[in-house]
Structure 1
Amino acid sequence: MADSQRTSEPINAVHQDEIWKSHVKVEKDLAEVWPNKWGFLTEAYKEYERESVKMKEVVKVDLPHHLAERPPTHPEKLIHVGASPPVPQTTQALIGWRSGHPHLQLEKYATVHHGRRSFLKELGWPLDACN
């Protein structure tokens, strides 16, 4: 990365080309030698695949009913979407128009009370202790 930012020194294209040629030659030579040196790995992998297929065919375990896969349930049976109230006529009334109806509110179970406690009150300190 530092070489790409240095522009004061001239780039020797012939030297760069020779470096590239040597890299390509090394890769080509290693590709020819690889099957003799590491070819046994391909046979071991093929043998592993054959054994795993045999094991999958042999081992068929019936799961108990509570662990068995259930058929998929259609979302229409689980999610019930009621009719929306009519869209307001003005853009000002459009803000929060669905949240005004109790059956469409996001907080279905309880009101959110986050942020109403004071750390200082919990510790029993006066409120102006951290000014």
Structure 2
Amino acid sequence: MAATQQPGSDKEYSFVDQDEIWKVHVKIELESAKAWPNKWGFLAKTCKEMQEESHNLKEVVKLELPPHLKPRPPTPPEKYIQVGNSPPVPQTSQAVIGWRSTVPELQLERYGKVQFKRKSFLKELGWAFDACN
């Protein structure tokens, strides 16, 4: 029997033993597959019955929506979004970087800059600053 060491471990293992273990795993899988319909087959039948029942109910009950509840066709984006041409890139040594930030219409911060102020958790709770060590 060829016994070799698995890389990164101190244990020796045999290819024959590994093969026997694999055969046992395959045998258990096949037996489980044969036993499944007897143990759990009712789930598959129930699911099929529910699907058929749902399909039959959909055919029987056909609702006509009133006109005010029917969905309207989607509006094409071109109707409410207009994208104009970009202004020419300024001739500078850094022509590509940051040129849009100088044009007020193209700035991302339309509502002003975001301000993150320093907050103190202890101050929010009304605790003394030496309450936590």
Establish whether residue 24 from structure 1 lines up as the match of residue 38 from structure 2. Answer: no
Partner of 2:46: 44
Give the counterpart letter for 1:8 in structure 2.
D
Higher strand share: 2
Give the counterpart letter for 1:60 in structure 2.
K
Per-residue CA distance 1:52-75 (angstroms, 9 max, x = gap): 111222333444556532211111
Q: CA deviation at 1:114?
A: 0.6
Establish whether residue 98 from structure 1 lines up as the match of residue 100 from structure 2. Answer: yes
> Residues 96 and 26 from structure 1, CA distance in 2 versus in 1: closer, same or farther, beyond 3 angstroms?
closer
Unpaired stretches in structure 2, ≥5 consecutive residues: 1-5, 124-128
Partner of 1:53: 55
**In 2: Cα distance, 1:53 partner to 1:6 partner:** 57
Alignment of 1:1-131 (within 5 A): 7-63=9-65, 67-108=69-110, 110-112=111-113, 114-115=115-116, 117=117, 119=119
Q: CA deviation at 1:32?
A: 2.0
Per-residue CA distance 1:20-66 (angstroms, 9 max, x = gap): 11111121122222223333332222211101111222333444556
Please give the secondary structure, in 1, of the residue aligned with 2:98.
coil
Give the counterpart letter for 2:99 in structure 1.
W
TM-score by length of 1: 0.67
- How large is the Cα RMSD of the aligned pairs? 2.9
TM-score by length of 2: 0.67
Identity fraction in percent: 53
Please give the secondary structure, in 1, of the residue aligned with 2:102.
coil
Moved more, 50-59 or 91-100: 91-100
Query: How many residues get paired?
Result: 117
Q: CA deviation at 1:76?
A: 0.8
Give the counterpart letter for 1:111 in structure 2.
G
Partner of 1:126: none
Unpaired stretches in structure 1, ≥5 consecutive residues: 124-128
Partner of 2:3: none
